[in-house]
Amino acid sequence: MNKLRHTLLLFALVFALGASAQSEQPEVRAQITPDSVLLGDEVLLTIDVKKDQVQVVGFPVFDTGENGELELIEELPLDTIKRDGRRQHLRKRYRLAAYGEGTIVLGRTPLAYIDKNINDTIYSADSLVLYIEPIQIDTTTMTINDIKRPKDMPLRWGEFSGYLWRGLLIVLLFVALVALVIWLIHKYNVKMPNPFRPKVVVPPHVVAIKALEALHHQKLWQNNRHKDYYSGITDILRRYMADRYDFGAMEMTTDEIVAAIAAIDMPDKSRRNLVEILRTADLVKFAKAVPDEQYNERAYLDAYYFVEETKAVEVIETESDETKKRIDD
C-alpha cells in the first residue's frame, strides 16, 4: 500500500513539473544604452529573451516615435547567446538615432508569443526611458557678423601658365594650317571663289536660246522621237515665259497659258506662233500626231524667233546721258 502511494505521488510530481514547465512564459528584458544622449547621437536598443525551444516569439518591428524622436539606423541580426537543454537565450539589437528633445518614454517592449494553443503578447519587465539633452544657445552673447570678404590672393604663374601654353599652341597650329592652305593653292594653282563677286544673272532669253540650240543639235525628230522633241520645245518656252513674264507657266495647261498671254503686250505674230507650237505639241504628246519634216523645222524657228521678239530690252546708259542726268539734277 505504501509502495502504491509513493508511485502515485511520483507521477503527480512529474505531471506538476511538466505542467509548470509548459505554462512558463518566456522571460523578456530590454535596455537602451546610453539612456542620456545629445541631439543626433546613436543609441542601442537590446532585447534579451529566455524561452523554451518550442515557444515562438516575434520581435517588434521598430517604429519611430510619434513626432519622429527616434530613427532606425540598422536592425542587427538575431543572435543566439546560449543554449541549455531546451532553454534558449536570444538577443535582438537595434541601432537608433535620437532627434527629439527632452524625455522620451518608450515603455515596456512588446513581443508576440505563440505556444501550442497560446497566441498572446508579452512585454519586457523593464520600462525604457531615454533622455535627449536639448542644445543650449546663449542668445544674449550671440552676435551676427557680416560675411567676410574673399581674400585677395596674388596671381601665381602656375595657375595660368598651362592655359597660356595651350593658347599659344592652338595659335601656332592655326597659323601653320593657314600657311599650308596658301602653299597648296599656289602650288596647284587652285582658283578660290570670290565671295564678294556679285552673282551673274543670265537673262531668260539667253538661257532659252542656248537651250533651243542644244535641243536642235540632238536631232530628235530626225530619229522619230517627235514626242521628246516637242516636249523639249514647250518646256523651254514655258520656262522662258515664267522667268520673262513672272507667271506660273510651268504648271499651266495650254488653254491657261493662252489666256495668260492675251493680256501681255507682245507682237501678234509671236502670240500666234506660240499658240500653234503649244497646240501641235499637245497633239504629238497625247494624240500621237507626226508632223512632217518641214513643220518640225519651222517649229524650232518659230520658237527661236518668239524668244527673240519678246526678250526684254536692255537699257544701256552712255556717258553723255549720265553727264546730262547729273547736270539736270
Integer Cα distance of 301 and 298 in angstroms: 5
pLDDT of residue 231: 92
Lowest mean pLDDT among 56-65, 92-101, 127-136, 259-268: 56-65
Res 12 pLDDT > 90? no
**Among 104, 133, 162, where does a domain finish?**
133
**Same-domain pairing of 126 and 209:** no
The average confidence (pLDDT) of the chain is: 81
pLDDT of residue 5: 43
151 inside domain = no
Say which CATH number the domain at 55 has: 2.60.40.10
Integer Cα distance of 103 and 124 in angstroms: 20
* Mean pLDDT along residues 202-231: 91
Measuring CA to CA, how many Å separate 182 from each of 170, 171, 194, 197?
A: 19, 17, 15, 20
60 inside domain = yes
85 inside domain = yes
* Mean pLDDT along residues 298-307: 91
Q: Which residues contact 159 (CB under 8 A, 6 or more apart)?
A: none
Res 20 pLDDT > 70? no
Per DSSP, the three-state class of 192 is coil
For residue 73, name the pLDDT band (cuts at 50, 70, 90): confident
The residue type at 5: R
**Same-domain pairing of 128 and 212:** no
55 inside domain = yes
Q: How many CB atoms lie within 10 A of CB 309?
A: 14
Q: Which residue has the higher pLDDT, 17 or 305?
A: 305
Domain tally, the chain: 2
Res 325 pLDDT > 60? no
Residue 294 lies in domain: 204-310
107 inside domain = yes
Residue 179: exposure state from Cβ atoms within 10 A (0-12, 13-18, ≥19): exposed
Res 278 pLDDT > 80? yes
Supply the pTM of this predicted model.
Answer: 0.41
**Among 109, 133, 157, where does a domain finish?**
133
144 inside domain = no
325 inside domain = no
pLDDT, one tens digit per residue, over 32-53 is 888 888 888 888 989 999 988 8
**Among 96, 114, 133, where does a domain finish?**
133
The C-alpha cell at 303 is 520658237
pLDDT, one tens digit per residue, over 126-175 is 888 888 887 777 667 767 777 888 877 777 777 777 788 888 999 999 99
Res 239 pLDDT > 90? yes
User: What percent of the chain has a predicted confidence (pLDDT) above 70?
Assistant: 82
Res 327 pLDDT > 50? no
**Same-domain pairing of 125 and 216:** no
pLDDT, one tens digit per residue, over 171-209 is 999 999 999 888 888 877 766 666 666 777 889 999 999
179 inside domain = no
Integer Cα distance of 287 and 160 in angstroms: 84
**Same-domain pairing of 126 and 224:** no
